[in-house]
Structure 1
Amino acid sequence: MAKQHLAAIEYIRGISMLGVIGIHVGSQYLMNPASNAHLTALFEIATRFSVPIFFFISAFGIFYNMDLDKPFSYRRFLEKRSRAVVIPYLVWSLFYLLHDGWLYNVGFPAPLSLASLLFFGNAKYQLYFLVLLIWFYLLMPLWIPLVKRIDGKGLFLLFALQVAFDYFSSFNVPFNTMVYSMENSVLKSFLLYRLNYWVLHYVFIFIIGGYLAVHFKEFQSFMRDHQKIIYLFFAASLAGLLGYYYDLLAFRGYTQMDAINTAHQLCPLGIVYTLGASIFFFTFFTEQHYPQSLNRLFSLLGKHSYFAYLVHPFFIGYMMLALERHGVILTAQKALAFYLVTVILSLAAAAIVRSAGERFPLLNMLTIGVAAAKKK
């Protein structure tokens, strides 16, 4: 029996895509020496759930549709996920390498550099997420028994270990000093870009996504019976991360750039915020205590989120070049308009290519890993 369609997964994808674009627009806005700290907080702090929540819904979707009582076909799983992730990853990586090589007159990388760029997901700044996702898929035989056997105490322990590991990776001064001072360039790259492929940074959010999918009936009851607590926890976790950001600015003398590079999704409060946001958005879109007419917008965002996520740096790059050519600095108002235009252009491009892909199925397969529907 087919399980019910969960619109919440699709809607969360759309919200996450908006958040990721916010983070990358915020990076451009910070080039303004007089950037507004509150707008920076909106672009760079409130959106920090955006990348890890993708791992949450990815795991949820996998385990929700998986029958754990049946044998797991690793080969079939990898074939399916390769179409959805590996092919688009390679296509978009090559696109950006060719495009940026031409635009910035740096040429195409040499074979060894190309291999490094593809392994670490450095062909463009948003592509590392797909590398992490690929590693999660490759390690699927580890996650299945863990999700099947873990309980509440196990999740709490995993959360504590996640906080400890991420804190060490992000903030341990001797370790990071050692990495930056390494003379072995190969080993240095493997450690320097560890955030791009070490799934250990996001194991907790992935596992809890799978756990809630396996125990979905209990999760439904929890969402229905504890909405106020869920919403309060989300608000408190957001307030905590924002408070940390403002504390860094006001009392520790951090710049806005330093503050956002400290109050991020891997700091302890960031992990709590990711958890709060994941449960909140799933509850919000499941219970749907809002005008139902908004579902069309959420569905549109979700449908085109993958392509928009992959293409938005293209539009950010050209718009920034245009602004620089005319000597325009991103003020708060211009940054908000810049964000809106980036979202609109990215969604429009996604819709156009998706439509063209219905006539030329290979286009959708290459760009977003969607195969043509089989004719009945």
Structure 2
Amino acid sequence: MTRRFLLLMGLGILGLILNHSATFGYQATFDLAWSYRPEVAASCVDLTPPVRCPNYDQVHSATYWGLTVVRRFIAFGVPVFLMVSGYFIAFAAGRKDAKIQWPILRARVVGLLIPYLVWSIIIFVGQAVFYHRIYPTPWAYVRRLLTGGATGSYYYIPLLIQMYLLSPILVPLAKKRWKGLLVATAVLMLFVETLRYLQLFGLGEPIVPKLIALTPLWFFPRRLFWFALGIVFGFHISAFKPFLVRHKNKLVVGAILFYLLSLVEFEVLLALSGQPWIDFFSTYTTNIYAGLFMLAMLSVEKLKLPLTPQIMDIGAKAFGIYLVHEQVLELVGTLLFRFAPWTLGYQILYQPIMIFFALGVPLLLMRIVSRLPVKKLYKYSFG
């Protein structure tokens, strides 16, 4: 079963790369259309950098659906990371004692913290040198370090550290009162997600905006359920396995159904909002799909996917890839925008380029650093 969780981790990081690459694809299609479509540039009031001239006439185009279908399909990325992390916390706690020791927690937190700080500082320096992005005070940098603000995806690392620090409370509950734990954390997630729906339609002001400000992505309430689910699996997977195997066909069908429903739900929300475009957020159907996808993956006894060993190897290197991939996407995206803007209009070409470098560069860096004589450099750089 541990191998299966490693496979899930590999699929999760691949999904995350596809997700973030699709985000750059939306930006290229909507926000940067002026750079490669003369008719859009002609309609812009001001082309003085930084240009703000979004164009949404490609919503519901073939390009739009290609990006959307992929992005909704890989919505299991972060839930997979948290669930697998929870599973290994249960493994570290021991199924008999169900007590997580502080030295174990400290090692895990430090293992996250050092590479996170190293790459955050590198990112801050890069932003200052190449993009002239300098924050006004030292406290602004500290605040971004505390909340994962060096780059968009780094919110996950303070989030996971919070999960680890909550483990002494979660582990005994997952062992002895797992049903109550899952219900409580699911209700908490439902509440936090519902706030986003209310905000979309301008309901519940001024309370809803304040509650949303108190539950950002980097704060644990929104994603605690997935980590708790992983701990519960760690203690009770043998009890769940017969149920999962018995209902595997239903789980697979359910995952497919809710994936399709997640596409429909977003389109309904977009239409009802009256806006030309809304940012993606974690919808009800997306969360259900992510959960069913993971259960379906665990239910198949002899799962054989193409390139399984390679995906598992990527899963073992997931944290290092996570730390680097978004900066690679930003760099490659910037180079294409400046020197080959026409590629932004051909996502069938743009996406493979972005994905290739987002996966290949971190793996190449990790390979190079692993061969250096300073052994601890790899640990401090990639965890």
TM-score, length basis structure 1: 0.83
Distance 1:14 1:73, change over 3 A: closer
Query: Given the alignment of the two structures, is residue 56 of structure 1 paired with residue 56 of structure 2, yes or no?
Result: no
User: Aligned match of 2:246 in 217, 225, 244?
Assistant: 225
What are the equivalent positions in structure 2 for 1:128-143 lying under 5 Å apart? 128-143=155-170
Report the Cα offset of residue 191 of structure 1. Answer: 5.9
Report the identity percentage.
Answer: 19
Deviates more, 1:157-166 or 1:47-56: 157-166
- Aligned AA (2:26): L
Q: Distance in 2 between matches of 1:6 and 1:283?
A: 14
Distance 1:305 1:151, change over 3 A: closer
- Aligned AA (1:298): I
- Aligned AA (1:220): K
| Aligned equivalent of 1:168 | 195
| Aligned equivalent of 2:348 | 333
Report the Cα offset of residue 352 of structure 1. Answer: 2.0
Report the Cα offset of residue 248 of structure 1. Answer: 3.6
- Aligned AA (2:15): G
What are the equivalent positions in structure 2 for 1:78-89 lying under 5 Å apart? 78-89=105-116
Structure 1: 5+ residue stretches without partners? 181-187, 370-376
| Aligned equivalent of 2:48 | none
2:152 match: secondary structure = coil
Distance 1:338 1:272, change over 3 A: same
Report the Cα offset of residue 126 of structure 1. Answer: 1.1
Distance 1:224 1:136, change over 3 A: same
Report the Cα offset of residue 297 of structure 1. Answer: 1.9
User: Aligned match of 1:40 in 47, 62, 67?
Assistant: 67
- Decide whether the 8 Å contact of 1:163 with 1:271 is kept in 2: no
| Aligned equivalent of 2:295 | 279
- Decide whether the 8 Å contact of 1:20 with 1:50 is kept in 2: yes
Q: Deviations over 1:251-294 (max 9, x none)?
A: 76554x41x52xx32x221221221122123335xx23336x62
Report the Cα offset of residue 242 of structure 1. Answer: 1.4
- Decide whether the 8 Å contact of 2:325 with 2:359 is kept in 1: no
- Decide whether the 8 Å contact of 1:240 with 1:269 is kept in 2: yes
Deviates more, 1:195-204 or 1:28-37: 28-37
Q: Distance in 2 between matches of 1:193 and 1:159?
A: 18
Let me know the Cα RMSD of the aligned residues.
2.7
Report the Cα offset of residue 20 of structure 1. Answer: 1.2
Report the Cα offset of residue 300 of structure 1. Answer: 2.5
Q: Distance in 2 between matches of 1:170 and 1:80?
A: 38
Q: Deviations over 1:118-172 (max 9, x none)?
A: 1111011111000100111111222122212324466345424431332125534
2:304 match: secondary structure = coil
Q: Deviations over 1:315-349 (max 9, x none)?
A: 21221121121233242212332343234423532
| Aligned equivalent of 2:311 | 298
- Decide whether the 8 Å contact of 2:195 with 2:212 is kept in 1: no
Distance 1:238 1:363, change over 3 A: same
Q: Distance in 2 between matches of 1:135 and 1:350?
A: 28
Deviates more, 1:212-221 or 1:193-202: 193-202
Query: Given the alignment of the two structures, is residue 104 of structure 1 paired with residue 131 of structure 2, yes or no?
Result: yes
Distance 1:107 1:175, change over 3 A: same
| Aligned equivalent of 1:202 | 223
| Aligned equivalent of 2:375 | 361
TM-score, length basis structure 2: 0.81
Report the Cα offset of residue 41 of structure 1. Answer: 1.3
Query: Given the alignment of the two structures, is residue 349 of structure 1 paired with residue 349 of structure 2, yes or no?
Result: no
Distance 1:289 1:116, change over 3 A: closer
What are the equivalent positions in structure 2 for 1:145-294 lying under 5 Å apart? 145-152=172-179, 155-156=182-183, 158-168=185-195, 171-172=198-199, 173=202, 192=213, 194-249=215-270, 253-255=274-276, 257-258=277-278, 260-261=279-280, 264-265=281-282, 267-284=283-300, 287-290=301-304, 294=307
Q: Distance in 2 between matches of 1:108 and 1:160?
A: 38
Q: Distance in 2 between matches of 1:154 and 1:66?
A: 17
Q: Distance in 1 between matches of 2:303 and 2:97?
A: 37
- Decide whether the 8 Å contact of 1:60 with 1:210 is kept in 2: yes
- Aligned AA (1:288): K
Q: Distance in 2 between matches of 1:193 and 1:202?
A: 14
Distance 1:203 1:26, change over 3 A: same
| Aligned equivalent of 1:144 | 171
Query: Given the alignment of the two structures, is residue 16 of structure 1 paired with residue 16 of structure 2, yes or no?
Result: no
- Decide whether the 8 Å contact of 2:109 with 2:164 is kept in 1: no
Higher relative contact order (CA closer than 8 Å, sequence separation 6+) = 1
- Decide whether the 8 Å contact of 1:356 with 1:363 is kept in 2: no
- Decide whether the 8 Å contact of 1:120 with 1:193 is kept in 2: no
| Aligned equivalent of 1:184 | none
Distance 1:143 1:102, change over 3 A: same
Structure 2: 5+ residue stretches without partners? 31-57
- Decide whether the 8 Å contact of 1:304 with 1:347 is kept in 2: no
